[in-house]
Amino acid sequence: MVVEVSAPAPATLRESVAVANVTTPEMKPPVHSNVEADKLRQAVEVSLERAGYLNASPAAATVLLAVAPVSLDNADFGGTR
């Protein structure tokens, strides 16, 4: 799973964000495999940390995020007829 934030954090948001909760929908194999909430949380937190947004202490963060997938891409699914 790859999650990326393209621009570095502006000074006003630097180290101010934490992930509050993660929601993952139940997927229907074989079209989509389930996305585990802990893996999604880890991917988002790593991305936020690399960009300078993540606060190491969620209690000290001024912005709390609710994370959920909006859409999924089936590019790697060959499918059968």
Q: What is the pLDDT of residues 4-26, one digit of tens each?
A: 556 777 888 999 999 999 988 77
Check if the beta carbon of residue 67 is closer than 8 Å to that of residue 40.
yes
**What are the residue ranges spanned by the domains of the chain?**
17-67
pLDDT tens digits for range 33-68: 777 889 989 999 999 998 899 998 889 999 999 998
Check pLDDT > 80 for residue 77.
no
Kindly tell me if the per-residue pLDDT of 79 is higher than 90.
no
CB hemisphere CA count around 74 (13 angstroms):
9
